[in-house]
Structure 1
Amino acid sequence: MTTCFDHGSPWLVFTDLDGTLLDWSNYSPAIARPAMLRLRELGVPVVFCSSKTATEQRALRQELGIRSIPSIVENGAAIIVPDSAGLPTGHWDEAPGEPGRRVLVLGLRLDEVQARLARVRARTGLPLLGYRDIDDAKLVELTGLSPSAAHRARQRDYSETLIEELPHETWNLLRDEFAAEGLECRHGGRFHTVTGAGTDKGKAVKTILELYERAYERPVKSIGLGDSANDAPLLAAVTRPFLVAREDGTWANLRIDGMERIGGRGPYGWVEAIDLILSEAGDQGAGAA
């Protein structure tokens, strides 16, 4: 099952989705698809790590032909691993609605997030509307998602994404309110997502790396790709972090040891980073060992 870029050292790729692997305007993976297929041919696992739901990620995996690879959903609130990945997750719970897959919940389930969020609303008087408070049509209007994609985005299990546009200062004041309820609120590429406190993409990345190291019985190296502030924990947890440019050509204000800024915007930067890695390796040793 081992894959490697160099002399038997296994590698994994962890990637954010919106604004990184997916085009910002139409949420399409078309630009990155050839590089994704190249990694698949080399046997390199690409792990999705985003605020998207399990339902959203499942549809994208099917579109790209990705199988037997874990996924990190809802900003690191849970990890879903297919049994076919051959990883040591037999003691995990069965993933709801995902036959043949196991789940490790690192945060809170949705009903608890909603109950705590309701108390924040009551104390602050702010509506703090989320995906669950609007219908599919409204989400299509806000995001440009297709109706089916909007429906999948609203099927959240471990978090709530807020659609409120509030001043930066208000979000800062809300931080303490969320913390009092054991919640965290992180800004992604467009909206804020509320999860249980202490969950982030980095913890989920480290958990998956440990699973692969147990399966491979040796250390595993990793590549991380992201574009926004909530990708900081992901990028800090990997061997080789890449920050791709945002839609306007600027980079998120992140400071992470060893991080490389890529000039390409979104999926163009994603392809640029993967091409760089593969060029450095000369494709030598990539593939099953």
Structure 2
Amino acid sequence: MPTASQAVSAAAAGTIALSDLTVNRLGYGAMRITGKGVWGPPVDHAAAIATLRRAVELGVNFIDTADSYGPNVSEELIAEALAPYPSGLVVATKGGWERVGPGQWIHNASPKHLQQAVEGSLKRLRLDRISVYQLHVPDPAVSFDASMETLARLREAGKIQHVALSNVTLEHLERARKIVPIVSVQNRYSFADREWDYLLDHCEKNGIAFIPWAPLGQNRQAHDILSKAATTLQASPLQVALAWLLRRSRITLPIPGTSSVAHVEENIAAAGLKLPDAIFKELSAVQTPHAVLR
């Protein structure tokens, strides 16, 4: 297994198409570069900037963020670190939450809010058009169709290139596809938390990228199996978890997040880790609990 110091490129994971965009299959999630509770600025601003730049140096060309991370902080840091953006870098962002304090999230996917959210993200990210814009979560108080129709209009207006979804069910996905093309779905998923197996399989059949978040899950027994596999492979547990996600399906696009240069190097090194059949089958056989959609 390559070490972080050997600077494995995210390209070692192969590529995936998001309609007419092609990116390496190991991306970077930019939630953790904000403060505690996904609120406020990072404890170490310089480290956050350095982590973003190192991820791109190591071949990451898909960065996932959201206006609610901070709020606004993650998008601002991405622009500070990387704008003007290198050719081929895709910055995907999301809208649909409002923030009132650390660890506090309030639904708002109203048409008015989404319009304002897209305009705000464009300004903070210093972009004329957002490559991939995701509805962060369906709002139970707002018509889902109205939310999607708003994003479809913004796509037609040229402010969004591609529309995507996050934290959704199969029903949401199919309803959305009747309104606007969907290039990706981002749900919680890992070797230890496979509630959305059927949705991943549906995405695979329909050529839609699946972006798993929380790659380690929360199953303690499964973590023990993961640690055992990591010892055998001379890798870290997170690297094994990421390698399992990459092998699980050709349409997965993991986005591990961190605010540390050393950890981003470790995560991206997972692109070069190939799981033996026996270990892949053992991890795949783990009995997983059902997570709560949020």
Q: TM-score range by the shorter chain?
A: 0.3 to 0.5
| TM-score of the two chains, using structure 1 as the length reference | 0.33
Greater length-normalized contact order (CA 8 Å, ≥ 6 residues apart): 1
